[in-house]
Amino acid sequence: MRLETKTRNEERGTRNSAHRELGLADSEYEQICELIGRDPNVVELAMFSLLWSEHCAYKHSRKLLRRLPTEGKRVVMGPGENAGAVDLGNGYAVAFKVESHNHPSAVEPFQGAATGVGGILRDVFALGARPIAILDSLRFGQLDSQRSRYLLDGAVRGIGAYGNSIGVPTVGGEIYFEAPYEHNCLVNAMCVGLARTEEMVRAAASGVGNLVVLMGASTGRDGIGGASVLASAELEEGEEKRPSVQIGDPFEESKLLECCLELLGQGLLVSLQDLGAAGLTSSAGEMASAGGVGVDIDVSRVPLREADMEPFEIMVSESQERMLAVVEPANLERVLELCDKWQTGAAAIGEVTDTGRIRVLRGDELVGDVPVSALVDECPLYDLEPQEPDSWTYGNRATLDDRADGAESLLALLASPNVASKRWAFEQYDSIVGSRTARGPETADAAVLLVPEVDAAIAVAIDGNGRRVACDPYRGTVEAVLECAANLGCVGAEPLGVTNCLNFGNPEKPGPAWQLDRAVSGLADACEAIGVPVVGGNVSLYNEGPEGPIYPTPVVGMVGELPDPRRAAGSGFARAGDAIALAGPFGPSLAGSELAKLRGELDLGLPGVDLAVVYAAIAGLREAVRSGAVASAHDVSDGGLACALAESAIASGLGCKIDLDPLVEERGASGETALFGEGPGGFVISGDRAKLEQLASDELPVLVIGEVGGEALEIEAAEQSLSVPLADAEHAWRSLAERVESA
């Protein structure tokens, strides 16, 4: 069989610029020609343009990612697999990954977010893990923008529509509203799954002569070029790109999920891989590359939605709800029977070969033939040309008068959509299906999921404050890791592994390149310092609007374990009369804070963090929670200590009386900074006064600052004094729904 192609010489004079329209640089095109010894034909060019896109090849980030610590004794699967996984003991592992679907969501928020969830679910069940939780991290422009409310509404409905109907609970997440996300919202979805370690499979194809089986939905023209068109360039004319957005079908995926898990449970699959960006090309290429084998694909055997599809369209279609499996020929009949039982499509479309090549056939005709290594491993990697910006470039419109008093500032902060309750969103998600959710949205700092299979529980959190990363990419990213660890600490959980999604602007520009470089170093150093491996992740670059890049937004997802879910502390106070203490080395600062944003005072710079000191405090708090010494625990985050106290009070329906003078004296802060300053390493804990005092140690300083009770938040802090009725605080904190819906 010979491939009909023109020789390079024939083509040279007339070569058009098709590769440029597909996002390949001239130098990259030249390199492809050298690698395969001729010009690629249309099928091959389509395949290269996708696998050599930023989205698939990580060509601007791969070198940086080598800095991340990826090994640990609990790691079962690390980066490079469909998702990472860590050992839970007793024959079980927890698999997890976060992934972005930013550009599709900015174009069509409902389908963009829905298929983002669908894609991350497939990554997790591709390992043989049953998905048990979804978390999502969303960023939109300011809430007063109609476009932001439209994107928010669509994304939340999309996440719900997919997660709810597939029966996986959405147990947590975060939403921030900042002007730099106005044109380029972020939708990051994280999935957590539970697997029997011995039933897990890798994505590597193996066994020459084994069959390649495509399962799930039929293949259509939807999402063609999604990875290159949408995910690897700046978004400009979103409307015209709508046909590139994929359409989700959670029912199809529900059947596919159950079918795959049953197939894996019966040991009928050699390997399994989901079809995501770049469709069959990417799945077949990555499977072959990981296994060091070749793969033949016959596109005439792919079940199609539209009969007249060209081979290149079939190879790059991003139709959703499809998986690619490698099956021993003797097992094919059983596999097809089980697919039939679950009413999910299945077709043997090719086989594993020893050629080291991806060969695309249409029946007997060879229509594409490239070395796997050229396609998957040889994409050029670029060095960044970072340059530190010398000033704050994001703008910052003041919405709060700096003469506002303490009470006015507190109410403004509680009503700020970044701080306000996200109940409007999370009530649209099924957070309880699966019967594992011991701590769901806004009841504790991290979600807690029961895992009776190992007689324990896991905690999960997702965090990343892009505004603070914009102030200082290194320190802001360190803080995101510490914030996750602090959230886990509040429920008594010890971190096991990290996943991350790096959402940044155009890496070919010096400013975003510098942010990316510094953020990856911060992520690496923080994970190293707390001894937690990064087992997977995703990079989303070119997130820019007409006014410039988004805030640099590394989103960190963390999974931890806790021995006794009954002791997982809630964030709300428990009893009137309990003492309230500030635990940890918290040194508040207004730099990069929510208050600084409201006042229009944002600027570059964040205070330094002593990673070892803060993590020792987090570990101390974790032990305190595990010992049952605290009745509530809540970390100090957006809006500072005053907002943390208000949140603990609102959750319990109990007020509090607080004196922050000890904090002002000991940490040298002003009253205002003590109230609203932010920074890592602070926890509001409550409980029996003597027990709280006994917790104090060198690692975990404990300052008793007040008492639970009454119907108001009464706080004294040096020159500041405020008293806000609890009902007013709650009204402000619960104002999000009305502001979204009234529009």
Are residues 528 and 70 in contact, defined by beta-carbon separation less than 8 angstroms?
no
Give the 3-state secondary structure of residue 559: strand
Say how far apart CA 163 and CA 121 lie, in whole Å: 9
CA 341 to chain centre: 34
Helix (H) or strand (E) holding 156: helix 146-166
**147 or 423: whose CB is closer to other proteins?**
423
Q: Is 249 in the site for other proteins (CB under 8 A)?
A: yes
Determine which residue in the list 158, 223, 434, 592 makes contact with other proteins, applying CB under 8 A.
434
Which residues have a catalytic role annotated?
Answer: 55, 101
Sole binder of other proteins in the list 25, 208, 432, 743 (CB under 8 A): 432
Stretch that binds other proteins, among 121-129, 251-259, 395-403, 634-642 (CB under 8 A): 251-259
Residue 389 CB contacts under 8 Å (≥ 6 apart), including other chains: 511, 514, 604
The secondary structure of 266-314 as a DSSP string is TT--SEEEE--TTHHHHHHHHHHHHHT-EEEEEGGGS-BSSTT--HHHH
Among 358, 438, 460, 651, binds other proteins (CB under 8 A): 438
- Nearer to other proteins among residue 252 and residue 716 (C-beta): 252
Q: Given candidates 146, 387, 435, 721, which one binds other proteins under the rule CB under 8 A? A: 435
Candidates 176, 429, 573, 586: give the one binding other proteins (CB under 8 A).
Answer: 429
How far apart are alpha carbons 63 and 382 in whole angstroms? Answer: 8
Considering beta carbons, is residue 166 or 195 the nearer one to other proteins?
166
Q: Does 430 bind other proteins (CB under 8 A)?
A: yes
Q: Which stretch binds other proteins (CB under 8 A): 38-46, 248-256, 635-643, 699-707?
A: 248-256
d(CA 621, CA 632): 11
At 376, list the tokens.
């998957």
| DSSP structural state of residue 519 | H
114 vs 527 by CB, closer to other proteins: 114
Q: How far is the CB of 198 from other proteins (least distance, A)?
A: 21
Site string for other proteins, 547-586 (x = CB under 8 A): ------------------xx--------------------
Q: Which of 33, 15, 5, 26 is nearest to 360 (CA)?
A: 5
- Closest contact distance (angstroms) between CB of 622 and other proteins is 19
Count Cβ atoms within 10 A of the Cβ of residue 282 and give its class: 0-12 exposed, 13-18 middle, 19 or more buried. Answer: buried
Closest separation between CB of residue 439 and other proteins, Å?
A: 9
The reply to whether 345 sits near other proteins by the rule CB under 8 A is: no
- Give the residue, chosen from 437, 503, 593, 637, that forms a contact with other proteins under the rule CB under 8 A: 437
Size of site (CB under 8 A) for other proteins: 32
The residue among 711, 594, 736, 706 whose CA lies nearest residue 649 is 711
Closest CA to 274 of 289, 288, 290, 287: 287
Give Rg (Cα) of the chain. 26
The residue within the footprint of other proteins, chosen from 100, 188, 431, 637 (CB under 8 A), is 431
Residue 623 CB: number of other CB atoms within 10 A? Answer: 16
x/- track of binding to other proteins for residues 604-633 (CB under 8 A): ------------------------------
Binding mask 300-339 for other proteins (x = CB under 8 A): ----------------------------------------
Q: Return the range that interacts with other proteins (CB under 8 A); candidates 203-211, 218-226, 422-430, 588-596.
A: 422-430
**Nearest to other proteins of 283, 437 (CB atom):** 437
Q: Phi/psi at 706 (nearest 5 deg)?
A: 170, -160
CB of 633: closest distance to other proteins in angstroms?
18
Question: Least distance from C-beta 623 to other proteins, angstroms?
Answer: 21
Candidates 154, 248, 250, 572: give the one binding other proteins (CB under 8 A). Answer: 250
* CA 214 to mean position of chain CA atoms: 27
Q: Does 433 bind other proteins (CB under 8 A)?
A: yes
The b/e string for 193-210 (b: 16+ C-beta within 10 A; e otherwise) is bbbbbebbbbbbbbbeeb
x/- letters, 154..183, toward other proteins (CB under 8 A): ---x--xx--xxxx----------------
From candidates 19, 255, 597, 634, binder to other proteins by CB under 8 A: 255
Half-sphere exposure of 359 (CA within 13 A, CB side): 21
List all residues 6 or more positions away from 494 whose beta carbon is below 8 Å from its beta carbon.
488, 560, 561, 562, 619, 622
Of 109-117, 309-317, 420-428, 532-540: span binding other proteins (CB under 8 A): 420-428
Give bridge partners of residue 361 from the DSSP assignment. 298, 366
- Would you say 311 and 349 are in contact if contact means Cβ atoms under 8 Å apart? no
Instruction: Provide the minimum distance between the beta carbon of 429 and other proteins in the complex, in angstroms, as a whole number.
Output: 6
Instruction: Compute φ and ψ for 444, nearest 5 degrees.
Output: -155, 170
Cα 665 from Cα 63, distance rounded (Å):
46
Nearer to other proteins, 404 or 737 (CB): 737
Measured from the CB of residue 342, what is the shortest distance to other proteins in angstroms?
A: 7
Using the rule CB under 8 A, give the single segment among 90-98, 371-379, 434-442, 617-625 that binds other proteins: 434-442
Q: What token pair was written down for 602?
A: 């944002």
Q: How far is the CB of 338 from other proteins (least distance, A)?
A: 13
Rounded Cα distance between 136 and 118, Å, is: 13
Minimum Å gap between C-beta 451 and other proteins is 12
Stretch that binds other proteins, among 189-197, 347-355, 429-437, 707-715 (CB under 8 A): 429-437
10 Å CB burial of residue 628 (0-12, 13-18, 19+) is middle
Count the neighbouring beta carbons within 10 Å of the beta carbon of residue 575. Answer: 14
Closest approach of other proteins to the CB of residue 250, in Å:
7
Q: What is the nearest approach in angstroms of other proteins to the Cβ of residue 251? A: 3
343 belongs to the binding site for other proteins (CB under 8 A):
yes
CB of 430 to other proteins, least distance (A): 5
| Residue ranges in 439-498 that form contacts with other proteins under rule CB under 8 A | 450
Binding interface with other proteins (CB under 8 A): 157, 160-161, 164-167, 249-252, 254-255, 258, 342-343, 426-438, 450, 565-566
